[in-house]
Amino acid sequence: RNLAMRGATLLCEIGGLLWVPVVEVCGSRPRLEDAPPRIVEHPSDLIVSKGEPATLNCKAEGRPTPMVEWYKDGERVETDREDPRSHRMLLPSGSLFFLRIVHGRRSKPDEGVYVCVARNYLGEAVSRNASLEVAILRDDFRQTPSDVVVAAGEPAVMECIPPRGHPEPTISWKRNNAKVNDKDERITIRGGKLMISNTRKSDAGMYVCVGTNMVGEKDSDPAELVVFERPMFVRRPVNQVVLADDTVDFQCEVQGDPAPTIRWRREEGELPRGRSEIRSDNNLRLTQVRAEDEGTYTCVSENSVGKAEASGTLQVHVPPQIVIRPRDQISAPGRTVTFLCGTKGNPPPAVFWQKEGSQILLFPSQPPAQSGRFSVSLSGELTISDVHSEDSGYYICQAISVAGSILTKALLEVEDVPSDRIPPIIRQGPSNQTLAPGATAQLQCYVMGNPLPSIQWERDGQRILGNDDRINLMDNGTLQIAALQETDSGVYTCVASSSSGETSWSGVIIVKDSGGMVPAPVSEPYQLPGPPQKPVVTDVTRNSVTLTWQPNAHEGGAAVTSYIIEAFSQSAGSTWQTVADLVKLEKHTVSGLSPNTIYLFIVRAVNAYGLSDPSPISEPVRTQDVSPTGQGVDHRQVQRELGEAAVELQQPVLLTASSVQLTWTVDRQSQYIQGYRLLYRQVGGSWLQQDVKAAPERSTVLNNLLKGTEYEVKIRPYFNEFQGMDSRPLTLRTREEVPSAPPQAVTVSTVKPSNSSSISVSWQPPPAEMQNGVIQEYKIWCLGNDSQTRYHINQTVDGSMLSTLVKGLLPGVLYHVEVAAVTSAGVGTHSQPVSVIIIPSGGGDSDQNVSLAEQITDVVKQPAFIAGIGGACWVILMGFSVWIYCRRKKRKELSHYTASFAYTPAVGFPHGEASGLNGRPGVLGSNMGNYPWLADSWPTTNLVHNAKDSVNCCTSKHDTAERYYNGKKHVFGDAFQGMSIMKLKGQAKQSKQKSMGKAVKTPSLNWMEPLPPPPPSGDTDEEDWCPPLPERTCLIDGMAEDGPCPPPRGDASSPATSYSHQSTATLTPSPREEARHCQDIPHPLQHQKIINRHDSFALRCPATPLNCDKSL
């Protein structure tokens, strides 16, 4: 019992702690089957959406059945048992049910930490804490996805941060309203990012980021993923090989997104102009292809996400062509014959020779045949040394390549020819000419030789056939071409040949419209210098000969400027070679000759009009023999080794405008290379040579070249008289400078008819060696000068023109004509002035009129005349301005005379000056009742015209005080009928005296305006008009004749006196004026002298009661 009591007491204490009344229980006795409460189902944490129902489970066991209560955050929860309106319900099982979760921004009654307590009389049990949270999901995404543009194959990333929410929302993606399949290994969703590796075109679309929690889903704004495709070739250009003049297409088909643009380029430069076309399908078409079109052609495709290129090469095969054909030759036995055979093609053709009827083929660099007399150079030249009679026949040159083949042949005739026979000599050959279409060209070719040589003509290396009716070969060798066409332009070569050899001379014909220019005349024979005398040998060495000669007394139309030396040697060839030019003196050393060789020389003189005939041939001269070191060698071995030595020229280096440094390399060195023979020539000219001894540096300097000239250079090794193969020719051009000499033979002539204002100017080019480049144009100055004016006329013509027509010259003016040549470097030296004057024609009047009109026109165009006219206009304008100013100033002065005085001047105006009708003068008299404003509106200064017929009346200086007022008003009428009238004459002043008063702007009428006509009067005529002397009448009230009187207009006795003031009231005298004494007024006798000067004028008296002094 004690134990029971102790237990009851403990329970009471517990009950006291839990605020449970246990009064009745504490004294009770527990039953054996009763048990205290025990929580068998604890509540769990809940996250519930706002407004949704929720249940917190709680189940307890015990006996008696415990009562369950709920507490939130330590406070008892009120349920529907306490408040039927509560949204919380306590279920029989003890669970707490929420009809809806109430949650607001400020009030959150349902959110918190809940426990359930189960009680019976034995005790209570408390559950574990359970939290109830309200789920939220906001509307705004913290980061919305953006549009993405990628190229196919690249990774794409789209980022998204969902709205804030509880619980934290999860991210998923939709494409085109369909969920993105994250099972695709290319797609990864991590941390809100959507990552797609190796993007495909099918991945493009509209993507939406979806944020999800238990509240629901929120979709972001859509973002577009654009997948572009880089250009991709469907068809690529391929390498092609075509023949010249064919058409070739390079294909290029590309796909991509966006559609790519396509362009073509050529790696080696620009596309062929005019022959290339990019077609609508983007293919490149080349028409009429040429060898220079070879190269790599690239199709470039590009769009906004990438670029792609594909290339194809073009190879153009050009069939072989013969550009230099071999000529038939006649040779003596034992001589050396060379057949030229120049070819071209792509690829370069292989050249070989064959004698017609023989099976032996001769190739370049081929080991010598049995006799060792036949050899073919790399350039295709066939050389036959030590010619035998059995060598006669046709020799065939053949060129072959993958593009085709071609052949040509030439005849070799071997005849016994005397050793002293020399090749033909061309005395005068064709000259360069520029002619207009339709003209006739004559190309001369005068030859001499024994036997008499035959003449053939070539144009641009091709033989001219006689199948054109316009072309005629005359008996003297002259080639005549009628009705010239532009296609006839070219290089014409006269070839004179005989059994002794051949000689050629070339000239250029240019056919073009000269635009009215006068063509350059062909040089006449008398204008050419005479041939020099026979050259004399004065010194001979192993490889040089010194010559002297005497000039011809006949210099022709211009002074001799230089000489040309030509040489011939049977061992060196069968033609004359130019070995020196631009020789200034009558003595010259010819170098570069072969040892132990016989030479003949001729000399020609050169002036501005051309070359002279050749001098007589010099005596034969033999150069000194070779050194003993050249004896006893195997000629075949020498020829073979020299043929195997390959010499290659390097790129020339220009040192000055007339010198160049040349270097070369040798592929196979030979012990027999004694030196190197450098051959050079102007393009199209004859070869010159310079020997260079073998040295380790293998270089030399080529001097004395013409400036601004294009040269061909090649080199070959030699040993005594044996020579190796030529190197590949190189082309170089020296630098241009301004011409160092003026044009030659400047001629000025007048043009018919005699009254023409034009002159014809012709000239010859500067000497070739002093042109220093290509003459591009000529400048002509026509400088006129006389005692008054300079007249200059300048003109420029094309460099191919050698004459022009200068127009616009004035007769009687001395002109000086100068001509200068122009290269790319500038203007050269001026020629000496040539004076010319056009004598005015003394013919009919019409010529004189025309000449006068031309002179007047030229004078009017002169700057001095224009300046004079401008100055005169300026003076006139300034004078007119001064006149206007003075006139306006005088008008302003009239405003001082508009005040009302008690006197009325009668004014007469000279003829032609007053404002009366029909030219008659106006009169101011007493009959102005209708015009009171005219009574005082005339200025005395304006009445003066000249000292002869006018007098300036009533003039005086104004007071500087500028005080103007009106006195007491008075009215004209009966009040003045009884007044005495005093007639006063104004004091005469000098006409040059001026008023000092300042003008006051008033609305008064200008006196220059038309005045009313005078009153009709039957007894007056025009002779009664008064001179311009005013008549003043003083109205004096009760005073004698010598009493006070108004002062004369504009006169003052003291600065304090006022004179006038503008007023529209009735004319009244001023009080101060009434007080003025008449003695201040000059007496009329003082002006008697002045009045007497005008006694020829009559004073017209007005028809009024006023008195008029006829003595005036």
- Predicted pLDDT at 1024: 42
Domains 31-136 and 236-316 share a fold: yes
Per-domain boundaries in the chain: 1-27, 31-136, 138-227, 236-316, 325-414, 425-513, 522-625, 632-735, 744-860, 888-1112
pLDDT above 70 (res 412): yes
Beta carbons of 556 and 609 less than 8 angstroms apart: yes
Beta carbons of 940 and 950 less than 8 angstroms apart: no
Q: Which of 312, 318, 367 is nearest to 343 (CA)?
A: 318
Domain spanning 138-227 has what CATH number?
Answer: 2.60.40.10
Count CA atoms closer than 13 A to 984's CA, side-chain side. 30
Region 512-524 average pLDDT: 68
Give the amino acid at 524.
Answer: E
End-to-end alpha carbon distance in the chain: 181
Q: 744-860 belongs to which CATH class? A: mainly beta
Nearest-5° angle of CA 600, CA 604, CA 607? 165
Beta carbons of 408 and 322 less than 8 angstroms apart: yes
Count of H-run helices and E-run strands, the chain? 8, 75
- Predicted pLDDT at 860: 75
Confidence bin at 327 (pLDDT 50/70/90): confident
Q: Which of 568, 342, 324, 340 is nearest to 458 (CA)?
A: 324
DSSP class of residue 1045 equals -
- Predicted pLDDT at 633: 63
Q: Which CATH architecture has domain 425-513?
A: Sandwich (2.60)
> How far is the C-alpha of 768 from the C-alpha of 582, rounded, in Å?
9
Confidence bin at 842 (pLDDT 50/70/90): low
pLDDT above 80 (res 565): yes
- Burial class of residue 977 (count of CB atoms within 10 Å of its CB; 0-12, 13-18, 19+): exposed
pLDDT above 60 (res 546): yes
Strand order in the sheet with 587-591: 536-540, 544-548, 587-591
Regarding the domain with residue range 522-625, which homologous superfamily does it belong to in the CATH classification?
Answer: Immunoglobulins (2.60.40.10)
Among 450-454, 798-802, 949-953, the range of highest mean pLDDT: 798-802
The average confidence (pLDDT) of the chain is: 76
CATH fold label, 325-414: Immunoglobulin-like (2.60.40)
Q: Which residues, listed in sequence order, are joined to residue 63 by a DSSP beta bridge?
A: 35
Residue 674: count of CB within 10 angstroms of its CB: 21
- Predicted pLDDT at 285: 94
- Burial class of residue 825 (count of CB atoms within 10 Å of its CB; 0-12, 13-18, 19+): middle
- Predicted pLDDT at 1061: 39
Confidence bin at 1007 (pLDDT 50/70/90): very low
- Predicted pLDDT at 747: 93
> How far is the C-alpha of 1029 from the C-alpha of 1049, rounded, in Å?
13
Nearest-5° angle of CA 26, CA 31, CA 36? 75
- Predicted pLDDT at 156: 93
> pLDDT by residue (tens digit) across 571-616?
766 788 889 989 999 999 999 888 878 889 999 999 988 889 999 9
Lowest mean pLDDT among 464-468, 565-569, 784-788, 846-850: 846-850
Regarding the domain with residue range 31-136, which homologous superfamily does it belong to in the CATH classification?
Answer: Immunoglobulins (2.60.40.10)
For 630, the token pair is 């050249």
> pLDDT by residue (tens digit) across 156-199?
999 999 998 888 899 999 999 899 887 888 888 888 899 999 89
- Predicted pLDDT at 490: 92
Containing H/E element for 299? Answer: strand 295-303
Q: Which residues, listed in sequence order, are joined to residue 298 by a DSSP beta bridge?
A: 265, 311
Look-up of token digits 């979806």:
210
The larger pLDDT score, comparing residue 841 to residue 999, is at 841
- Predicted pLDDT at 1073: 40
Confidence bin at 97 (pLDDT 50/70/90): very high
- Predicted pLDDT at 512: 86
> pLDDT by residue (tens digit) across 627-637?
444 445 677 77
Region 227-235 average pLDDT: 91
> pLDDT by residue (tens digit) across 759-770?
899 999 999 888
Q: From 2.60.40.10, 3.40.50.2300, 3.30.1310.10, 3.40.50.1100, which CATH number describes the 632-735 domain?
A: 2.60.40.10
Beta carbons of 578 and 566 less than 8 angstroms apart: yes
Containing H/E element for 350? Answer: strand 350-355
> How far is the C-alpha of 811 from the C-alpha of 836, rounded, in Å?
10
Peptide bond connecting 628 to the previous residue in cis, omega within 30 degrees of 0: no
Domain spanning 236-316 has what CATH number?
Answer: 2.60.40.10
- Predicted pLDDT at 333: 85
Helix (H, G, I), strand (E, B) or coil at 488: helix
> pLDDT by residue (tens digit) across 4-63?
333 333 333 333 333 334 434 444 566 778 899 999 999 999 888 888 899 999 999 999
Give the amino acid at 815.
Answer: Y
The larger pLDDT score, comparing residue 1029 to residue 647, is at 647
